[in-house]
Amino acid sequence: MEHEHHHHQANKDDHEGHDNKHKDHGNHHAHMAQDFLKRFWISTALSLPIIALSPMIQGLLGLRESLSFPGDVYVSAFLSSIVFFYGGWPFLKGLVNELRNKKPGMMTLIGIAITTAYVYSMLVVFAVEGKIFFWELVTLVDIMLIGHYIEMKSVMSASKALEELAKLMPSEAHLVQEDGSTKEVALEELKKGDRVLIKPGEKIPADGFIVKGKSSVDESLMTGESKPVNKGEEDEVIGGSINGEGSLTIEINKTGEDSFLSQVITLVKQAQDSKSKTQDLANRAAFWLTLIALGAGTITFFVWTFLTTQDFVFALERTVTVMVIACPHALGLAVPLVVAVSTNLAAKNGFLIRNRTAFEDARNLGAVIFDKTGTLTKGVFEVTDIMTFSEDYKKERLLQLTASLEQNSEHPIAQGIVKSADSLLEVNDFNSITGKGIEGNIDGLSIKVVSPGYLRENDIELPDDQYQTLSKQGKTVVFVIVEGELKGAIALGDTIREDSKIAINQLHDMGIECIMLTGDNKQTAAYVAKELGLDDYFAEVLPNEKADKIKEVQSRGLKVAMTGDGVNDAPALAQADVGIAIGTGSDVAIETGDIILTQSNPKDVAALIALAKATYKKMVQNLFWATGYNAVAIPLAAGVLFSYGIILNPALGAGLMSISTVVVAVNARLLKIER
């Protein structure tokens, strides 16, 4: 996304223009899918009378006399012309585009088959002797249309990542006037040097630094740091992060393209644009089938015309039969049916596939990189340890006193303590100890809940061994003082999910490396990595470095999946070969991810990879069934056994095609998920 350095309305226009491009892209795909569906229904309706008027179908059903009438062949020709030009238009257009780009594929194969069948059949109606191929033509068009519709619906994933990023910012801000009053202004009106007021619980509207006030700021979606960060005067804040319990006045120092969020938007776009687009499996099969069809058709015509005594009409009929049979109906359904089944199967098991190419790539993964907060861990603070330093106070009593004092605080650590307590007591004379803790009276006792810094400042001896052990595990420790004496401590941590270790073991069994990527500190990261048995970890990684870490692992020759839930993970999710977003995370991570885990269960990553492997296996099996009969059908259609009285007529060829289509459909339904 290119920006020019000019006034802020231009920046707004830039963002809106960028969002509109993504919307247009998604609308284009949706329109194309609907177009295929509309053409399918109209073509199918027209195909029914064409099939009923086919001499071959009438003969098979014994209805020749009751369904045929004088001039019926002209009715078939007229209806087939509509199906050919209207229903077949996307394939005819695709044929021209593929040949122009010198990349013949599925469109070329379909285009050649339907054109050959149509032109030859019209010649038979108006000029030469032979058999008509109208019913083969229209059923081929119908099946290819519905196949492409199914495929497009499953592939369609217009990314809304940039829209979701923009939503993180509030629409208005409280601009501080010269007289100290505040005025509500639109976000795009803010400029560098402006001062804005952020009330408790509000989103910070732009990057800047604090000029007045103290608070804790939740930057977890922006930086990956799980703990709210205490901020005071002169500390920097990031637009999009959430203010905690205090009021802040900040001076804005970055807006527009210079802001943290805009830089993340740019990183997401760059990573999305640079993602390689692998060629479709069925297209590769279609490319070879096109060459085989053209080669076989040419050889058939040449042999029967110049090397035998058969007439031109016989040679032409054999050639057309070869060309029509070479394009199997089942090929149009082989991959889309498996995709549709696997997409539905995945959804029922808690993950949604948005990008099919990336999903197929998952079978070749060499490494899975996990975000820590909210992915391997729960992303919420819970009480993990309670220590008592006095026999007078049991753990339950300490927790009750601490939770009672913390019950009016909105701070995540306070909420974690309150949730752990069974009952709460009334608090009197509540007071905040600036930056160090809180105090109050409960049951006539003076209670303080304070940080380690408070103990040091007041020369209260710190129980170093226990504190250091917990601190190395990345836990937050608060101390409880009753009547001036240290009575205990409570440790809180972002708890590791129970399923994380199982998921890591399952991935290791598949031969896949497991790596953690986090903005959190090294101590916390090292503890989590050791507990889970990870192969490696990257800690204290800034958001703009996360995509680089993915590239670093990719440079080892490994296909990489990234699993995350935060805005800071969005560039990494887009850069990875497979981006797996935790569904309970931010909307932007979900919109950037190729696959979404709705259950937030790390075990789903292993199940997902197993499904990708099974899906690819089914695709290969289906392509074999869809094209395998060509090895027998094409030579027989060409007439290699004609001297023995064996020749494949279009009716038998169509029968073989139908059998392969049924086999492909049944085989797709047999796809299962291994958990």
User: Which of the residues are catalytic?
Assistant: 371
Q: Can you read off the two tokens belonging to residue 333?
A: 């359904």
Q: How far apart are CA 513 and CA 577, in angstroms?
A: 15
Pairing state between β 513-517 and 485-496 = unpaired
Give Rg (Cα) of the chain: 34
Question: Of 409, 419, 371, nearest to 584 (Cα)?
Answer: 371
**DSSP state, 173?**
E
Burial state string for 420-453 with b = 16 or more CB within 10 A and e = fewer than 16: bbeeeeebeeeeeeeebbbbbebeeeebbbbbbe
What is the Cα 570 distance to its own chain's centre?
11
Q: How far apart are CA 569 and CA 586, in angstroms?
A: 10
Contacts 24+ apart (CB under 8 A), 35-42: 35/90, 36/90, 36/145, 36/146, 36/148, 36/149, 36/152, 37/145, 37/146, 37/149, 39/86, 39/87, 39/89, 39/90, 39/145, 40/87, 40/142, 40/145, 40/146, 40/149, 42/86, 42/87
**Host H or E run for residue 429:** strand 428-433
Alpha helix stretches (DSSP H) within 349-459 = 356-361, 395-406, 412-420, 452-457
Alpha helix stretches (DSSP H) within 496-560 = 498-509, 522-532, 543-554
Question: Of 261, 113, 129, nearest to 187 (Cα)?
Answer: 261
Alpha-carbon distances, residue 412 vs 340, 476, 631 (angstroms): 42, 11, 67
